Amino acid sequence: MKKTSINIKGRLLNISKPLVMGIVNLTDDSFFDGGKYNNLDSAIKRCEQLLEEKADILDLGACSTRPGAIFVSKDEEIARLVPVIKKIKKIYPQSIISVDTCWTDVVNAVVSEGADIINDISGGQFDDKMFEAVAQNSIPYILMHTLTTPDKMQNNIHYDNLILDICHYFSQRIEQLYALGVKDIILDLGFGFGKTVENNYELLKRQKEFQVFDLPILTGISRKSMIYKPLGITPQESLCLTSCLNTIALLNGADILRVHDVIEARQCIELVTLYNR
């Protein structure tokens, strides 16, 4: 039976109705808003804005993972993340903070300061202690699919069978996580991570097939190149098209939308909820 809640440090987060995860990029070079929130004051204002817009989860990232990006050091990630987490938890103690990282050192640092969820684009591929760190910290884990590191992930993309290959990837890692005692796993199909435009749309169309794992599905397609490149527009011009695809994602089983634009994502959820009654 599919999970309908996530355990956040003893507090159950209901996911029977889809949730909105608001993106907070603490980076200089993210593809859409890199550099806008790379100091403490602007980052806090961004978090406050998203919470006022009723984001259910804040997703903080301190290292860009756009195609071609190079990792910053773990120390730099921690230095960017910790002050924001500490301040937000002081002002909004009930807020739920997800941290986008691939490294156990960062996991241990941010969880000790109040982070609630780990969002790992690597699916444990880049740090072989990641799953153990998640288990030891008793924290929910977003397991994403990617082929390799961001600097290489769009090179030589190949699948024998897109859906079966990704299902195999998930099944192996879910088994490892369960064996270590991780109880709350969320799946992210990794739109744009080692995928062609055609791969992305096939995944979106067939997203419901991943409900076979009985785990929540997070969809992160906000303003991505799968939207703006085929249409010859910019990320800044892609909000209404993001809403269009988020609606399709919800109809195809998305439980969490990871977005730059919380109000519009929440509107999509409200209308799809009405449609599904």
pLDDT by position in tens, the chain (length 277): 888 999 999 999 999 999 999 999 988 765 555 567 778 998 999 999 999 999 999 999 988 776 666 778 899 999 999 999 999 999 999 999 999 999 999 999 999 999 999 999 999 999 999 999 999 999 999 999 998 777 776 878 999 999 999 999 999 999 999 999 999 999 999 999 999 999 999 999 999 999 999 999 999 999 999 999 999 999 999 999 999 999 999 999 999 999 999 999 999 999 999 999 9
Which residues fall within 8 angstroms of residue 178, CB to CB, at 6 or more apart? 185
**Residue with the two structure tokens 């200089």:** 28
Helices in the chain by DSSP H: which ranges?
Answer: 40-52, 74-91, 104-112, 130-136, 162-180, 197-205, 225-231, 239-251, 262-276
Residue 258 is among the residues annotated as catalytic for this protein:
yes
The structure tokens listed for 178 are: 């369960």
**Domain residue limits, the chain:** 16-276
Residue of 46, 195, 223, 258 marked active site: 258
Q: Was domain 16-276 assigned CATH 3.20.20.20?
A: yes
Residue of 205, 224, 266, 277 marked active site: 224
What is d(CA 172, CA 34) in angstroms, rounded to the nearest whole number? 34
Indicate the DSSP class of residue 10. Answer: T
Residue 224 is among the residues annotated as catalytic for this protein:
yes
